[in-house]
Amino acid sequence: MSDEESGWHLTESDPGVFTELLKSLGVPYIVDDLYSLDPDSLAALQPIHALVFLFKWLPTSGSEPDPASGAHFDPDFPGFFAQQVVNNACATLAVMNALGNIPSLPCGQPLQELFSFTTGMDAQTRGMVITSSDWLREAHNALSPPSAISLDGLGLPKTSEDAYHFIVYMPAMGCVYEFDGLKSHPIRHGAYEEKGEGWIAKAREAVEARIATYPPGSLEFSLLALRDDPIPSLQSRLKELQEAGRGNDAEAAELIVRLSNENSKRERWAFENALRRHNHLGLIHALLVALAKAGSLEPARDAARRKMEERVARRKEVGMDLDEE
């Protein structure tokens, strides 16, 4: 199914994009990048509700759960699970599969009504209902505007593109589950212990096992943490210290620094999301016109052509296709 037929656009694996999506759904959580699975890094972000894992999709990668690791399909899973039935919707499907299994989820009325409406449906029907929801598709596409230029119909050679896919690891009913919209059922990775790291330890094992199926040194992965927004609790604690006359002690100073970092992050996300929403075609056209008027357009075009020819020559020397760069 083409992008035009599905109506869903590709989504970046970016915490600002996911956080903005959560905001539009009325969910007071955020998403943060995870650069490490070590206990200290994860502990700093608690409470974490789910891990969103992006990976390069391969036909043989994780196609079936490994029983030796304790992973099994759970066709009787009583929670929320929706299958992906259209292209490019896997990011929002992953978020929905995560949110649908968080007890007492705070959310907006449209999302609450959607979860209520799909109660009791099978996974495929639930996926069809979700991806047919206009308001949800609009929220998804808001940060992934369609291209202003279409190359369809120009007879250009088709090139294969790597496919990437979002899935979720999270706790549900005492076990760690993997929710993959391309699978027929959720995958149960086994029970976890409440003490220590809790479900995170079991989820780490599952994520590391998935990564281990790729060649050593592969970097086609991204891991995000769905977590509580830390700003309200930081502000509350700082207010308590200030009211107790401890507004200048070390803990208060640390809280102020953390709040500043969080607010700076939000400002960066807002700026980047504004750029994503903006159509830069007008700016590009204006720059081309300015270069032409200054007599610099043809020299710039010739320089770009030379660089492309050099690039093609280098690729041919090492026996690589241009698309592999």
Tokens of 230: 């830390």
Q: Coil, helix or strand for 179?
A: strand
CB 262, CB 234: distance < 8 Å? yes
Query: Is 278 one of the catalytic residues?
Result: no
- Say which of 9, 49, 90, 107 is annotated catalytic: 90
DSSP secondary structure of 29-69: EEEEEE---SHHHHHTTPSEEEEEEEEE--TTTTSS--GGG
CB 205, CB 69: distance < 8 Å? yes
Query: Is 165 one of the catalytic residues?
Result: yes
Tokens of 317: 């020397």
- The torsion angle over the Cα atoms of residues 155, 160, 166 and 167, rounded to 10 degrees, is 130
Tokens of 119: 């109660």
Report, in angstroms and rounded to the nearest whole number, the Rg of the chain calculated over CA atoms. 23
Spatial CA neighbour of 214 closest among 58, 324, 68? 58
First-last CA distance in the chain = 27
- Say which of 9, 49, 140, 165 is annotated catalytic: 165
CB atoms within 10 A of CB 220: 15
- Measure the CA–CA gap between 44 and 225, rounded to whole angstroms: 11
Tokens of 255: 């809280």
Q: Which residues are catalytic?
A: 90, 165
